[in-house]
Structure 1
Amino acid sequence: MKIGSEVLYLSRQHIASLSIGMSEVISLLEESFLEKAQGNVDALAKIEVHPKRDDNFINAMVCSFPKYNIAGLKWISAYPGNREKGLPYISGLIVLNDQETGVPMVIMEAGVLTAIRTGAVTGLSAKYLARKNSQSVAILGCGVQARTQLEAVLAICPELKIVKAYDINKAAITLFAQEMELRFKVKVEHAFNPQQAVEGGDIIISAGPIVTNPDPVIEGSWLKEGCFGAPIDYDSYWKKSSFETVDRIYVDDVPQFESHRQMGYFNAVPPVYGDLADLVSGKLSGRLNDSERIMAINLGLSLEDVAVAALVYNLALKQELGQLLPV
């Protein structure tokens, strides 16, 4: 590869073939947030645009990461209506530049990486915030994200035995159950409604589409004492009472979270306690006892994408994967 005259392209298939381990990504993100806590990362809040209608959005996510000598951009879209067209809900690209010269080094498909890192950041949050003896997990929304979410919490909480799954599309639950039972040897129970999924759950993950004007369903009274909640779909599934029922709320980045409040999200969410950088660095405490209800609202931060993309790039170089394109 000739730096400056060629750029490496990595497709969805290239990235999937690397078989990146979830535990490895969780550890990478833990190290990356520690770098952020030490002031060594410049991770900007998302820039968000809404083409055509409010529930479609495209984000620009930018980060400079000196530890890996790279700067990166993820340009990622989420279009809920794409499923009806046979297209992915999430799609996009990541570009990494050499930090010394500014020269682009690699362009890669962003969907696979986004699914992996979104699961991993939930896993990292669960490491500090979920009960160590958690036995059951509820997953609402059985799409691509649900699969990596389950993989991540199983990596952190191996004692999980029961998965309760709900989706408005019953066929999606069936397919999810078949795949996850075969892959992870866990029992997946079909929930007929959100309440049946959530009640009694030690870990509750909502993985539906992100919408600007949500119609949330999760009530505070459904939340078991000691549970850990992870809404990866912003505030789309959770009612005001559920946010108010939890003892503490963490996010992956406070400034980015507050910028999204200004966009109209999270109006029902009380003040947050802190973010992942404070948590992994020990500046803030994690779970104090088994009765606390705790939530992590991780919006997805650019440092997560750039750190994992750097890992993907280096693995691809070692395995001589990808296609060289002239600049």
Structure 2
Amino acid sequence: MTNKLLYLSQADVKSVGLTMAEIIEATEKGFMEMGNNRVEMPPKPGIHPGEGGDNFIHAMPAFIPAMDAAGVKWVSGYPGNQQKGLPYINGLLILNDPETGLPLSVMDCSWITAMRTAAASAVSAKYLARPESSTIGILACGVQGHTNLEAMNVLFPLKKVMAYDPSPENAEKLARFGKETLGLEVTIVSDPKDAVTGCDIVVTSGPILKVPHATIQAGWLNEGTFVSCVDFDSFFSREALKEAAKWTTDNLDQYNHYKDKVGFFVDCPGVYAELGELVTGKKKGRENATEKNFAANLGLAMEDMAVAPLIYKKAAEKNIGTWLTL
């Protein structure tokens, strides 16, 4: 018997045709399993090559028995890559057979990371945002700006987008995506305050920085706003964070590691709930129309492993990718 694995390039992964709605559904199911303590996911170890401490390469293993998913992602994030014309996020994912341990597939993880991160934002918003939310502010209009807008548009009746990015080119790309692909009204703003004030949902999706640039100030957020801090706490002043009614994350152990050992989340509010607790109903989500609720999700291996089997199965069915002999 010849053992084989399926190699999927980034183009292969994209061409499988998995929709954002399917990814959100799989991600929420994963958080349901996690909230019921049915996921094995050790804290992700990482290395930080280069100076400044903002570069990272992480190993992210997880096992979800109910989803027949086991594997590991080896992913890097280098903020300086953008100046070199390279993607901020790069890496590979290995999907294993839970019964034999044999590798089933090696696939590019950039697309998966972009989509599942946005899906987690949307799942948080499902429980923490107002269901009638129609105006969204996107601060930093790169990959995560695009995917978070797409994910929020799946769950909410979005109509208007306020787009802010120091790069006019990035803002224009998001505007075209919002208008042409999603059919939304998009306004590019030059003042970040205009991408925050008046919005029902706010997404900050810049690089993750140890020292926050703290652009968003107290008083900018309207009552009832939901914020997804994709870039941890990088965009917010401490005074603005004090306005949070509920400050949540996807995994408390990982959050505390980043806070206590790595130096992120200095003077942030206390964590109200993990996302799995919200999904399972162990903790209440939004309780009134005026709460300013936040999700500071860190990105979990569970999310990758919830999505990877779907990609593998569809790729095998559609004869996408390259089979390699072990």
TM-score relative to the length of structure 2: 0.97
Q: Which residue of 1 aligns with 2:231?
A: 233
Alpha-carbon separation, structure 2, partners of 1:225 and 1:70: 40
Alignment pair present for 1:260 and 2:258: yes
Measure how far apart 1:50 and its partner are: 0.6
Alpha-carbon separation, structure 2, partners of 1:32 and 1:20: 17
Residue type at the aligned position of 1:223: L
- Equivalent residues in 2 for 1:54-133 (5 A)? 54-133=53-132
Residue type at the aligned position of 1:233: D
Alpha-carbon separation, structure 2, partners of 1:167 and 1:44: 35
The answer (yes or no) to whether the contact 1:8–1:106 under 8 Å persists in 2 is yes
Name the stretch that deviates more: 292-301 or 38-47: 38-47
Measure how far apart 1:179 and its partner are: 2.1
Residue type at the aligned position of 2:117: T
Measure how far apart 1:93 and its partner are: 0.3
Q: Which residue of 1 aligns with 2:144?
A: 145
Name segments (4+ residues, structure 1) moved above 3 Å: none
Alpha-carbon separation, structure 2, partners of 1:282 and 1:191: 38
- Equivalent residues in 2 for 1:117-196 (5 A)? 117-158=116-157, 160-196=158-194
Alpha-carbon separation, structure 2, partners of 1:188 and 1:278: 34
Alpha-carbon separation, structure 2, partners of 1:224 and 1:35: 34
The answer (yes or no) to whether the contact 2:164–2:192 under 8 Å persists in 1 is yes
Identity of aligned residues (%): 40
Alpha-carbon separation, structure 2, partners of 1:93 and 1:246: 36
The answer (yes or no) to whether the contact 1:69–1:100 under 8 Å persists in 2 is no
Q: Which residue of 2 aligns with 1:321?
A: 320
The answer (yes or no) to whether the contact 2:119–2:148 under 8 Å persists in 1 is yes
The answer (yes or no) to whether the contact 1:6–1:325 under 8 Å persists in 2 is yes
Q: Which residue of 2 aligns with 1:312?
A: 311
Gap regions ≥5 residues in structure 1: none
Residue type at the aligned position of 1:67: A
Measure how far apart 1:5 and its partner are: 2.3
Q: Which residue of 2 aligns with 1:295?
A: 294
Q: Which residue of 1 aligns with 2:15?
A: 17
1:95 partner SS: strand
The answer (yes or no) to whether the contact 2:138–2:164 under 8 Å persists in 1 is yes
Alpha-carbon separation, structure 2, partners of 1:194 and 1:59: 31
Measure how far apart 1:69 and its partner are: 2.9
Q: Which residue of 2 aligns with 1:52?
A: 50
Residue type at the aligned position of 1:52: G
2:73 partner SS: strand
1:105 partner SS: strand
Measure how far apart 1:254 and its partner are: 0.9
2:253 partner SS: helix
**Which residue, 221, 224, 233 being the options, matches 1:223?**
221
Residue type at the aligned position of 2:299: G
Alpha-carbon separation, structure 2, partners of 1:22 and 1:174: 22
Alpha-carbon separation, structure 2, partners of 1:242 and 1:133: 24
Measure how far apart 1:311 and its partner are: 1.1
Measure how far apart 1:164 and its partner are: 0.3
**1:95-149 deviation per Cα after TM superposition (whole angstroms, max 9, x unaligned):** 0111111111100000000011011111111111111111210000011111110
Please give the root-mean-square deviation of Cα atoms over the aligned residues, in Å.
Answer: 1.2
Residue type at the aligned position of 1:169: S
Measure how far apart 1:48 and its partner are: 2.0
Alpha-carbon separation, structure 1, partners of 2:193 and 2:139: 10
Residue type at the aligned position of 1:71: A
Alpha-carbon separation, structure 2, partners of 1:214 and 1:285: 29
The answer (yes or no) to whether the contact 1:72–1:95 under 8 Å persists in 2 is yes
Alpha-carbon separation, structure 2, partners of 1:134 and 1:37: 26
Alpha-carbon separation, structure 2, partners of 1:268 and 1:138: 25
